[in-house]
């Protein structure tokens, strides 16, 4: 069935360095890929998304890249700050069923 795999499950980076989180998806019909940030005890919040007609999208320190051929997409956070510490979830939307499948999450910790 449809599946989204996310790596790594935990990531610790020095403040100011970059962080990269990678996801792969199984259904080639997927065409919408959002990323959510969830702080401890809070709701998931959309931070950036990309559609399959675009290869890269940037929003200040956050960027997402999509490789449709390889069926993987990545989140890049540059110049990391303490407030970037959270769990990040990728997701893929399967257009045939209008269903969204989430990855298992990456716990990002920013070391001061």
Partner 1 sequence: EAGVVQSPRYKIIEKKQPVAFWCNPISGHNTLYWYRQNLGQGPELLIRYENEEAVDDSQLPKDRFSAERLKGVDSTLKIQPAELGDSAVYLCASSSSPQETQYFGPGTRLLVL
Residues that bind partner 1 (CB under 8 A): 6, 31-32, 34, 36, 42-46, 49, 89, 91, 93, 95, 97-105
CA distance 107 to 99: 24
Report residue 89 as tokens: 């979830």
CB of 79 to partner 1, least distance (A): 25
CB of 21 to partner 1, least distance (A): 13
Nearer to partner 1, 19 or 23 (CB): 23
Nearer to partner 1, 101 or 110 (CB): 101
CB of 16 to partner 1, least distance (A): 28
Show contacts of 66-71: CB within 8 Å, 24+ apart.
66/33, 68/28, 70/24, 71/24, 71/25, 71/26, 71/28, 71/30
């Amino acid at each position: 069935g449809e599946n989204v795999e996310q790596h790594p499950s935990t990531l610790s980076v020095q403040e100011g360095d970059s962080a990269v989180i990678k996801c792969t998806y199984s259904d080639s019909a997927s065409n919408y890929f959002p990323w959510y940030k969830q702080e401890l005890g809070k709701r998931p919040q959309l931070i950036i998304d990309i559609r399959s007609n675009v290869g890269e999208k940037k929003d200040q320190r956050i960027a997402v890249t999509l490789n449709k051929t390889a069926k993987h997409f990545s989140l890049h956070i540059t110049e990391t700050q303490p407030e970037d510490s959270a769990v990040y979830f990728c997701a893929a939307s399967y257009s045939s069923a209008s269903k969204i499948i989430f990855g298992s999450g990456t716990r990002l910790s920013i070391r001061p």
